[in-house]
Amino acid sequence: MPWSASSLRLHVESALAGRVVSPFRFKEATAPLTVPTGIAALDELTGGLPRGCLTEIYGPACSGRTSILQAALAVRTQAGEACALIDAADAFDPVGSQGAGVFLPRLLWVRCQGIDPALRSVDWLLHGGGFGLVALDLGDVSPRLVRQVQLNVWFRMRRAVEDTPTVFVVLAQHSNAKSCASLVLRVEKETDSWSLPVQKTAQRAFHTPGCLLNNSAHRAEMVRSFLRNKKTLFIDRPRSRDSSETARFLLRSDRQFNQDQLHTAPELQTVEISQERKRNSG
Amino acid sequence: MTFCAIFVPNFSLQAVERAEPALRNQPLVLLDGPAPTFRVIAVSERARLLGVSNGLTKAAAAEFSGVLLRLRNREQEAAMHAALMDAAWSVSPRAENTALDIVVIDLAGMATLFGDYEGIGLQIQSRCSELGFHVQVAVSENPETARILACASPGPTVVPAGQESQFLKPLPLELLAPSEELAEVLRRWGITSCGALAALPVLSLSECVGQEGVHLHAIASGKGERSLILAEPTHTFEEFLELDDAVEELEPLSFLLGRLLDQLCARVAARALAIRTIRVQFELQPDFEEAFDASREILRSKQLPGSFHCSLALPRPTQDSKLLLKLLRLRLQGKPPHAPVQKLWMYAAPDRAFAVQGGLFQPAAPDPDKLELTLARIASVVGENNVGSAEVLDSNRPDAFRTNKFSPLPVSDHRRKNDSANAAEVPIKAKIGFRYFRPPLAAYVEISDGCPVRVSWKGNTGKVVHAAGPWRMSGQWWEEHAWHEDAWEVELSFFGKTTLSSGVYYIVFDVLQKKWFVRGSYD
């Protein structure tokens, strides 16, 4: 017996009762609110980290992923929001983060030794709600293990964070969340800037501070974004590295050295002093 | 003045039923007395219908099919008396601990808060019912009349002023609890009711039976005026449960814990308080081998059963028994008792109930109850010390921090604190982040001219492109945990089969161990 449209509708609605409020009502897709990352160039590129969405930041080791997360945590904790960091490899640096502006009493740090406890912790925290930013750091976990995480796990996390004010950030070496991520950033390091460009020039005539890490330059590419449409790529034209989907940013070191200091006190940096210091360090 | 008496009928029986609610509609018989000669001291209504009566021996009571025999339990009675006092204090702060099963409270001024006296009586009955027992209530102008009427009828009975003698008139003389001698004299006179006693001339009664007779005459006439001896409100809440068969599994144990928590939370809520700390104590069943090992010295003296303690401190006081049960379960899952549980004690330390006004522009924060539960769940997976907020220690030692319990206070509370680490004082800088390798990775470092030129660890070999150092650091040489190291920041360019890309790493030479380690990377 053929079903009428109204009876079909009634049947579907009664079957989904309690799970879906109104299955036939069109839900307008509204742009999520965004919060700043703490790095101006990235904010300009992405428009900020979207709330209620999964943001994936990936890249190789030393590419600047942790620095971006650290900056975002600093902004959110200083705004008075509670944040959570699920550290799958126990790699977080509280001392450096406090120096970068992270207000540690508002940061819940979960130190895991493995990916399974980390995923379980994230699930509980996202379902508990109330956090401004939840970060899952899989940066030092083997990419093979992270790839084994089922896609439905990422879907579950995305659903958990949906329609909440929580920014959910995942750090990894490769992109894994696929279409579950609303914003995907690929970061890589370009150069490191040292106070002396070539080590040989220092020779042994210099002891500390003869050569210091000043800053490092990084590049971020926006691989996916629901907020901004990507530009059309043409097959016959080479893909420009300096397109509007990439941004360069500079990260400063704690031990940044002023070049002027190097030139104003050269007489202190002698071999004798260096050897004397080595003999009597205290 | 108006007084309200609260009486618990069948007190000992109700105490057992409160501890084991499954016995409520059963033919229950309560025994007491010296060990071999137990006697029936109380019977439930269904047991009475079967023919069991007070005074029977245990063997005689056991002859009735279907009856459940239980021993009187003083600790359960004490817990129920405490619950009765809590119910009284929930209405009036002026309460007298008249007897184990009777409490008299002063209702002066309470009508403006709770309505008429009958309504107060109904409220008291309802609150006691929530606490697991039923009571009889009577309200009168003098405490003695209220007490006798509460013992006599289920109520709530409200005696209008001046009509006390009318209400007492038909009641039996036993309710006045005369001494045996006086009761015998009055019985011989044919005095069986309060009304008959009140009708006797006071002077003649005084000459015949003395002051006790005069006192009972005044009570029977509805003139038992006296002042209440007020009890001091206690701030400890305790519940107890003894099991016939020891429980080993966590599932049935949590069921029992839930029952105790429900009772505690109801008592605490009746006093408008909340639970800040919960402490659970188990008496464990002695080990089978230990109990039958005759060679053990312990058997010669009285063997003390093992005990197990578990406590739970909450960041915010709560009355939610389900939440407390979940937290206790998680705690016991991580550290279960090592033997079956025979007895359970649960103590609660109360605090003022938490109330907070959320600000319109205040950032959202996790619900404290939910957060506590989430943290307990995570702690059960990753370990207690691996969850919390980090606090940087005042030390030059690298990676010096400790983990505190995470409890995000509102913004205003943090700003009020004169904390040097206040976020408002630390500007946000886009700085290079650092990732620790915990524990540090052992490395092989080639040195040339006092400077590292090649670093290898875990199959990765990198050529040093830039190096800064050595930063010589040492400390705590006056202690056992002395440390002394030379640290380098090296930019490595990897070659060969490696998954790593070039980057800046932090390597240290441990002077005490004479070994190189890679401590982390700049990311």
Q: Where are the domains of chain A?
A: 30-188+218-227+240-253
B399 to A95: CB separation less than 8 angstroms, yes or no: yes
Single out the residue of B227, B237, B218 nearest to residue B104, CA to CA: B227
Q: Which band of pLDDT confidence, cut at 50, 70 and 90, is reported for residue A68?
A: very high
Domain boundary among B161, B196, B229: B161
Which residue of A68, A85, A111 is the best one to mutate when testing the B interface, meaning the one whose CB has the most B CBs within 10 A? A111
Distance between the two ends of chain A, CA-based, in angstroms? Answer: 94
Residue of B nearest to A164 (CA): B364
Contact criterion met (CB below 8 Å) for B269 and B319:
yes
> pLDDT: is B425 or B368 the higher one?
B368
- The boundaries of the domain holding residue B502 are 434-522
**Same-domain status, B442 and B343:** no
Which is higher by pLDDT, A235 or B482?
B482
Q: Residue B223: which residues within 8 A CB-CB, separation 6 or more?
A: B142, B164
For chain B, the average pLDDT equals: 83
Q: Do B363 and A60 touch (CB under 8 A)?
A: no
Of all residues in chain B, the one with the smallest CA distance to A193 is: B466
> Above 80 in pLDDT, residue B215?
yes
Asked if A194 and B431 come within 8 Å (Cβ–Cβ), the reply is no
B146 and B19 in a common domain: yes
Query: Which of B407, B415, B522 to mutate to probe the A interface, most A CBs <10 Å?
Result: B522
For the segment B1-6, the average pLDDT, to the nearest whole number, is 86
Percentage of chain B with pLDDT > 90? Answer: 14
**β-strand partners of B490:** B467, B505
The tens digit of pLDDT for each residue in B454-464 reads 999 888 888 98
Q: Nearest-CA distance from A23 to chain B in Å?
A: 30
Q: What are phi and psi of B230, to 5 degrees?
A: -75, 140
- A113 chain-B contacts, CB cut-off 8 A: 382
Position B272 scores a pLDDT of 84
**Statement to judge: residues B26 and B136 lie in one domain:** yes
> Looking at the DSSP assignment, which residues form a beta bridge with residue A188?
A219
- Distance CA(A91)–CA(B391), nearest Å, equals 16
The residues, any chain, with a CB within 8 Å of residue A158's CB and separated by 6 or more, are A53, A54, A168, A177, A180, A181
Task: Please say if the pLDDT value at position A230 is more than 70.
Answer: no
Residue at which a domain ends, from B113, B136, B161: B161
Q: Do B421 and A104 touch (CB under 8 A)?
A: yes
Task: Quote the pLDDT of residue A204.
Answer: 47
Looking at the complex, does the CB of residue A257 fall below 8 Å from at least one CB of chain B?
no
- Same-domain pairing of B129 and B258: no
My answer on whether B11 and B130 are in the same domain is: yes
Residues of A in contact with B523 (CB under 8 A): 61-67, 139
Chain segment A131-177, per-residue pLDDT in tens: 999 999 999 899 999 999 999 999 999 999 988 899 999 999 999 98
Chain A CB contacts of B388 under 8 Å are 108-109
Q: How far apart are CA B96 and CA B106, in angstroms?
A: 8
Strands B341-352 and B273-284, by their bridges, are antiparallel
Mean pLDDT along residues A254-273: 44
Scan residues 104-163 of A and list those with Cβ closer than 8 Å to B: 104-113, 117, 120-121, 124-125, 128-132, 139-140, 143
Q: Which pLDDT score is estimated for A252? A: 84
- In angstroms, the CA A278 to CA A282 distance is 9
Chain A contacts of B399, Cβ < 8 Å? 93, 95
What gap in Å lies between CA B31 and CA B57, rounded to an integer?
A: 8
Pick the CATH number of A30-188+218-227+240-253 from 3.40.640.10, 1.10.357.10, 3.40.50.300, 1.20.1740.10: 3.40.50.300
A234/A240 Cα distance (integer angstroms): 11
Q: How far is B413 from chain A (nearest CA, A)?
A: 11
Of A61, A89, A121, the CB nearest to B382: A121
Q: What is the 3-state secondary structure (H, E, C) of B311-344?
A: EEEEEEEECCHHHHHHHHHHHHHHCCCCCCEEEE
Question: Is A100 within 8 Å of B501 when comparing Cβ atoms?
Answer: no
Residue from the list A77, A108, A129 with its beta carbon closest to the beta carbon of B406 = A108
CA distance B367 to B358: 11
pLDDT in tens, A117-132: 999 999 999 998 889 9
* pLDDT tens, residue by residue, B430-459: 889 999 999 999 999 999 888 889 999 888
The residue whose two tokens read 């609610």 is B21
CA distance A13 to A22: 7
* Furthest CA-CA distance within chain A: 101
Residue B274, in any domain of the structure: yes
**pLDDT at site A135:** 96
B290 compared with B342, residue with greater pLDDT: B342
* Full strand arrangement of the beta sheet holding B39-43: B39-43, B28-32, B68-71
Which is it for strands A53-58 and A183-194: parallel, antiparallel or unpaired?
parallel
**Taking a C-beta distance cutoff of 8 angstroms, is the pair A176, A152 a contact?**
no
Q: Are residues B7 and B147 in the same domain?
A: yes
Question: What average pLDDT does range B21-34 have in this prediction?
Answer: 84
The CATH number given to whatever domain includes residue B15 is: 3.40.1170.60
pLDDT for B458: 87
| Tally of CB atoms within 10 A around B346 | 24
Closest residue on chain B to A107 (Cα): B389
Are B430 and A192 a contacting pair at CB < 8 A?
no
pLDDT at B331: 87
Q: Give the span between the Cα atoms of A100 and A251, in whole angstroms.
A: 11
Question: How close B268 comes to chain A (CA, Å)?
Answer: 27
What pLDDT is recorded for position B231?
84
* DSSP per-residue codes, B495-508: ESS-S--SEEEEEE
Query: What digits encode the pLDDT tens for the residues A44-54?
Result: 888 899 999 99
Among A93, A132, A277, select the one facing B435 at the smallest CB separation. A93
pLDDT, tens only, B114-147: 778 888 888 888 888 888 888 999 998 888 888 8
- Residue in A77, A96, A129 nearest the CB of B433: A96
Residue in chain B lying closest to A60 (CA): B501
Residue A55 has pLDDT above 80, yes or no: yes
Name the residue in chain A with its Cα closest to that of B402.
Answer: A94
Q: Give dist(CA A183, CA A180) in Å, integer.
A: 9
Residues A207-220 pLDDT 10s: 444 567 888 889 99
Residue B445 vs residues A186, A194, A203, A205, A211: alpha-carbon distances, Å: 32, 21, 19, 22, 19
Confidence band, pLDDT 50/70/90 cuts, at residue B212: confident
Sort out which chain B residues have CB atoms less than 8 A from A42's CB and list them. Answer: none
- CA dist., res. B236 & res. B79, Å (int): 11
Residues of chain A contacting residue B487, judged by C-beta atoms under 8 Å apart = none
In this complex, the residue of A61, A98, A213 whose CB is nearest that of residue B468 is A213
CATH code for position B256: 3.30.1490.100
Question: B37 lies in a domain?
Answer: yes
Contact A226, A50 (CB under 8 A): yes
Residue B363 lies in a domain: no
A96 pLDDT above the threshold of 80: yes
Domain total in chain B: 3
Length of chain B counted residue by residue:
523
Residue B459 covered by a domain: yes
Mean of the pLDDT values across residues B285-296?
58
Average pLDDT for residues A95-116, to the nearest whole number? 92
Q: What ipTM was estimated for this complex?
A: 0.80
Contact B365 A97 (CB under 8 A): no
Q: How does pLDDT run across B107-116, given as a tens digit for each residue? A: 887 777 777 8
Q: What percent of chain A has pLDDT over 90?
A: 43
Residues 39 to 58 of A: which have CB under 8 A from any B CB?
39
CB contacts, 8 Å: B390 with chain A: 92, 94, 104, 107, 109
Closest-CA residue in chain A for B452? A199
**Half-sphere exposure of A139 toward its Cβ, with a 13 Å CA cutoff?**
34
Mean pLDDT of B355-359: 68
Do B12 and B97 sit in the same domain of this protein? yes
B249 and B112 both lie in a single domain: no
Q: Are the C-beta atoms of residues B276 and B351 closer than 8 Å to each other?
A: yes
